[in-house]
Amino acid sequence: MKLENHHLETTLSFIQNQASSINERLTYHWIPNISNSCQSQVEENLNLWCHIVAKGNKEKFKQRLAFEGFTLDKISLILAEGTFSPDTPLPEWLITLKKVIQKAENLELSQLPENIVNSTKIPFEPIYTPFIQVAWDKLRQKTKSNLDLLNNDSLVVLEQQLINQLAYLCTSVLLEEFKNFRSSGNEMKEFILTQLKESKSNNKYKQFLDDLLSDNLISFFEKYSVLGKLSAILINYWVEANQEFITRLNNDLPEIERLFSSDKPLKQVIDIQVGLSDSHERGRSVIALKFDTGLKLIYKPRNIHLDVNFYQFLNWFNQKSNLIPLKTIKIIHRDNYGWIEFLSSLPCNSEQEAKNFYYRYGMLVCLTYTLEGSDFHFENLISHGDNPMLIDLEGLLQPRTKANNDDNGISLTEGAESSILKGSTAQHASTASVGKLIQESVFRTFLIPIEYSFLNDDVNVNVGGLAVEEEKKIQQIAINNINSDAMNLGLKEVVFTQRNNLPVLNNAILSPKDYLEDIVQGFKETYEFLLKKKKLLLSKESPFLLLKNQNTRYLFRNTNTYNTILSNSYHPSLLKSGIKRSIALDVLSRAFLGMKNPEKLLPILRTELREMEDLDIPCFTSNTSINGVYVGKGEMVSDMFEKPSFESLMTRFENFSHKDLEQQVQMICSAFYAQLVKQPQPISLISTDDYSQKQNLSLSDSTSLNQELLSRQVVKIAEDLEKNAVALTTSSEAQRNSLMSTDEGITWLSLEYRAKTNGFRFPGLNPGLYDGNSGIALFLSALYKITQDERWKNLTDRSLKTIQNNIRQLTKYPKIQERLVKKTGISGTRGICSIIYSLVKMSELLQEPILLEDAHSLTGLITPDLIKKSSFPIIDGLASSILGLLALSKTELASASIKSHSLKIAKECGEYLLQYQQTDDKNIKTGFTHGLAGISYSFFRLFALTDDKRFLEAGKQALQQEQNFFSPIDKNWANDSSDNAVFNVSWTNGASGIALSRLGISHIYNDNLIQEDINNALETTQKYCFGEVDNLCWGNFGRLETLLVASKKLNQPSLLEFSYQGVNSLLSRAESAGNFQLFSGLPPLIFNPSFHHGSSGIGYQLLRFAHPDLLPSILLWE
């Protein structure tokens, strides 16, 4: 369509007004249209804004407006429709968009190459033709003959980058418009076209493109004005970034040739990879280029002086340490960019090279730990033969942000790495010092395994430097039937393959689990070398000074947060109105509303919003010698950090010691061990002979307990707990050097079991019984009960103080109560009811009724909503919640009101647990913690105290259901109904747990079936009693507890004698090995203090064998 200039100018003015952001209207003279018709639109925008930033809280929304000095009346004028004053300068993007519209004037599909019109790779590719034409016109004009430095293939890559960026931005809008265009009003016809029929026709699709182009895209941009604006911004950024890159390449080519290719002249770039990093500073990102000689380089459009000086430090380290040298690389650095030697992924050539790789990796862990490094995840590491190489050094000397606590005691400004590191540690303020300890440890480097949980903990992903990625296929949202009449949104299978971060030998990926000793050795020897050079490194001649006064990147938030918010802002509804998109982006301000003193940080928020309005990922810089963050041009937010990062480096190094070395090595090992822990192989998959060999245990001849050996091992467990305790103090020096010198609470670093994935993560101690502080405190209480040794009373009191601090947290900060309770859950294994149960048992053991007040206070947190959101089984479910509450309702130390209140809540949990009967049979499991045995046990226990026949019948029904899984041949129960069902013998999901549950209900309900179950389960338990591991959950002591209970309830001394023989044998094995075997395939000396999977549970069970009448069965929640 022929364009008339006055019509085009009117159109562009309309687009500019519609696309304008809140910030643009504030910056320039906005003239609002004050009319009643506009008022409803203003109210709609205000309500949307209030909902997005303050979740509908009007007082908080007023606080947000007050950040900028706005009143509702003032901001309403900005939100109203209107126009810019005539003297407002024309934005650069609008000039570009005008050229795009003009290019579209003469565009017809018939004139385009066939491969573009019928492309099946990029949705709506022909539409981008005028955009690309404008981009090339502008780039050629700016670069002139310098463009010849890149061959045609490289230019195609640059063009494809812009097309992909435009498609990412525009596809959702174009798809929605196409869906409306082709709609016939017949839903069935549409369904057949898009879902059932693979249509090859593209007639409707071509008609749609013709329709869009019929008025030169004007109608399209009038409707989606923000999309027009952002598309033009993309073009301008693409031109600016590539013009700068090509000009720099031309200027630096002689120096590049001199340093990297002195024997071969460089003529032209023949291959290029773009977009190798996030987009910062107007669309700039890292580029890899290959010359005609084969030389490969990396172009980084940022200051890389820190990289240069790091490699200078490495040169000093290599010369002085006499260790295996770490590879250094060539670099050309300019003020704001540089050229870096390209590092390709190369295999190892021998087993020795593989060992060298992992040894060097340990060295790098130590050096990055020393140099305050962070964020060196798997994408920032490449395996280059026997050299692990960090490919992005921006993570060095990362400053530690000062906590800016909200009125709930939660820090909102801890830096981006905290969001993942805190996901691996306890989520309670009373263990904040543990989080601090972790964030000041090797974990901060991300070079050791770091678990990132999402989808409500259904998925755990290791994002650490050595993350192993097996090839896997997942379903992702994608466009199906691209550029056909049937084009639609659907799912597409995407294959993820192994990354380049792990070494390879003979085409096989070498797992770090086989080279942990080399990693540790590399770390220790590097640490020891630095300790020897401590005097020099702290002096005025210190090589560390190379890293002083260097620019470094500061991550205020996780990059994924920015990417998600930016992606969400491309929704079609937000691409029509600049105001609505500004409001959507302002979700970034939500975190600031809870801060005590947000004013200081507002420049950061304003920078974030300004850069994301224009498609950039916010990027902040600091300096290693300055306590502040640069925002905008020359502006700085000062006093942001605990201290400048170079000072932090020196302070850290001053605190280097052999004790710190020992602690860091323990963390490294535990982090890798958490990745390796697997449940022992089911007995049904092991032959009887193989099982006997795996036991590696000869039963003791003595049928009496070896009390001396038992006492020695119990004390050793307690001493290990004492030695490894972490004091809850804000002083990291006290944590490192004097853990036991205060009266503060204590906690431990531990492997935490993740029920949903049947795996572990470290560090992850929670407040609960199963693998948290409560379980450890329960063991210590029992130890004091038996020994009356004040040493253990002190340790008990300090562990109790931690639990009580967790409870106080919920009272002191009621606004975060809901979040913490939701995170903790209400289960009797690791949730609120497990803490209740533990407090009840400790109050009885210590004869301290005051602990019941804490237990009672926790019952007030159990709401109907939490009950309804809980799962059913013992593990993290309602069945164990009931058992924890019943303990409080039965204890003689509690008042009548506490007892009745607890029983009332237990009954409410039972009411909802009754719904398990409607559970799909395919999801039903057997066993104590995950299945029907535990659920039935809980129902019978509840019936015994309520006399409610519904619970009795539900318990009987669960028993009957479980019987469907019984195999008379195996005398055991299959774990589920799947084709891959197996038989286990463990307490958690095998015969011993089923036997224990039946024994636990036999005094409440008993018939021939229960007696048969007990006999069968005990026979199987005794036959397969001893396996590889000793812990309660999966191992030997859990099975022995079943036999102990059976010996008492069934009055069978032979079972007790057998149990004593087993205990004596396990004690002897532990004495020889130095520790009990907590996990299969891992060294016995691993420290894991948790109750069900660790040493404290074994310690308690040993005490219970010696004093069964004094200590209750924790595995039965007695």
Distance CA 624, CA 393 (A): 14
Tell me the sheet residues that pair with 974.
Answer: 983
3-state SS, residue 264: coil
Range scoring the smallest mean pLDDT among 291-305, 474-488, 903-917: 474-488
Q: Which residues fall in the annotated binding site?
A: 1033
pLDDT tops 80 at residue 495: no
Q: Which residue has the tokens 């911004």?
A: 233
Tell me the sheet residues that pair with 622.
Answer: 552, 629
pLDDT band at 412 (very low <50, low <70, confident <90, very high): very low
Tell which residue, 791, 805, 800, has the closest CA to residue 722. Answer: 791
Are the C-beta atoms of 669 and 1086 separated by less than 8 Å? yes
Q: Which two tokens stand for residue 952?
A: 């009795």
Q: Which parts of 929-986 fold into alpha helices (H)?
A: 932-946, 949-963
pLDDT band at 945 (very low <50, low <70, confident <90, very high): very high
Q: Are strands 635-638 and 628-631 parallel, antiparallel or unpaired?
A: antiparallel
What is the pLDDT averaged over residues 389-413? 71
Are the C-beta atoms of 934 and 874 separated by less than 8 Å? yes
Distance CA 962, CA 604 (A): 59
Q: Are strands 726-727 and 746-747 parallel, antiparallel or unpaired?
A: antiparallel
Given this model, what pLDDT does residue 178 score? 93
What is each CA distance from 806 to 452, 456, 812, in whole angstroms? Answer: 23, 22, 10
pLDDT digit string, tens, across residues 165-221? 999 999 999 999 999 998 865 555 555 555 555 567 888 999 999 999 989 999 999
Given this model, what pLDDT does residue 470 score? 58
pLDDT tops 90 at residue 1080: no
What is each CA distance from 903 to 753, 848, 859, 958, in whole angstroms? Answer: 29, 21, 10, 22
Q: Which parts of 1007-1035 fold into alpha helices (H)?
A: 1008-1023
Tell me the average pLDDT of the chain.
88
Q: What is the 3-state secondary structure (H, E, C) of 435-482?
A: HHHHHCCHHHHCCCCCEEEECCCCEEEECCCCCCCCCEEEEEEEEECC
Distance CA 1054, CA 1064 (A): 15
pLDDT digit string, tens, across residues 843-864? 999 999 999 999 999 999 999 9
pLDDT band at 1058 (very low <50, low <70, confident <90, very high): very high
Are the C-beta atoms of 1088 and 1077 separated by less than 8 Å? no
- Percent of the chain surpassing pLDDT 70: 89
Gyration radius of the chain's alpha carbons: 33
Given this model, what pLDDT does residue 699 score? 78
Distance CA 871, CA 706 (A): 42
Distance CA 133, CA 107 (A): 11
Are the C-beta atoms of 4 and 106 separated by less than 8 Å? no
pLDDT tops 60 at residue 1112: yes
Q: How many CB atoms lie within 10 A of CB 210?
A: 13
Tallying the residues shown for the chain, one arrives at: 1118
Q: Which residue has the tokens 């040169």?
A: 315
The better pLDDT of the pair 676, 1048 is held by 1048
DSSP string of 148-191? GGB-HHHHHHHHHHHHHHHHHHHHHHHHHHHHHHH--S-HHHHH
Given this model, what pLDDT does residue 741 score? 45
Residue 300 is which amino acid?
Answer: K
Q: Which residue has the tokens 């506009």?
A: 38
Range scoring the smallest mean pLDDT among 907-911, 918-922, 1016-1020: 918-922
pLDDT digit string, tens, across residues 355-379? 999 999 999 999 999 999 998 988 8
Cβ neighbours for 416, distance < 8 A, ≥ 6 positions apart: 375, 555, 556, 557, 558, 559
Distance CA 213, CA 792 (A): 82
Q: Which two tokens stand for residue 297?
A: 């380089």
pLDDT band at 682 (very low <50, low <70, confident <90, very high): confident
pLDDT tops 80 at residue 759: no
Distance CA 1118, CA 1109 (A): 12
Residue 159 is which amino acid?
Answer: E
pLDDT tops 70 at residue 455: no
Given this model, what pLDDT does residue 608 score? 95
| 608-642 as b/e: b if 16+ CB within 10 A | bbbbbbbbbbbbbebbbebbbbbbeeeebbeebbe
The better pLDDT of the pair 679, 408 is held by 679
Given this model, what pLDDT does residue 726 score? 86
pLDDT tops 80 at residue 818: no
pLDDT tops 60 at residue 925: yes
Q: Phi first, then psi: what are they for 451, rounded to 5°?
A: -90, 130
As separate numbers, helices (DSSP H) first and strands (DSSP E) second, the chain gives 42, 25
pLDDT digit string, tens, across residues 520-529? 999 999 999 9
Q: Which regions of 250-334 does DSSP assign to beta strands (E)?
A: 269-273, 287-291, 296-300, 331-333
Distance CA 750, CA 1093 (A): 10
What is the pLDDT averaged over residues 452-465? 63
Are the C-beta atoms of 1090 and 1013 separated by less than 8 Å? no
pTM, rounded to two decimals: 0.88
Distance CA 166, CA 163 (A): 5
Q: Which residues fall in the annotated binding site for Zn(2+)?
A: 1033
Q: Which two tokens stand for residue 459?
A: 């998925």
Distance CA 880, CA 837 (A): 10
pLDDT tops 80 at residue 817: no
Q: Which two tokens stand for residue 613?
A: 């309005």
pLDDT digit string, tens, across residues 771-785? 899 999 999 999 999
Distance CA 528, CA 521 (A): 10
pLDDT digit string, tens, across residues 721-733? 999 998 876 444 4
What is the pLDDT averaged over residues 602-629? 94
pLDDT digit string, tens, across residues 42-97? 999 999 999 999 999 999 999 999 999 988 888 999 999 999 998 888 999 999 99
The better pLDDT of the pair 345, 820 is held by 345
Tell which residue, 734, 752, 932, 733, has the closest CA to residue 829. Answer: 752
Distance CA 742, CA 757 (A): 38
Q: Which two tokens stand for residue 947?
A: 């006399």
What is the pLDDT averaged over residues 741-760? 76
Given this model, what pLDDT does residue 425 score? 43
pLDDT tops 50 at residue 420: no
pLDDT band at 635 (very low <50, low <70, confident <90, very high): confident
Residue 86 is which amino acid?
Answer: P
Distance CA 804, CA 780 (A): 16
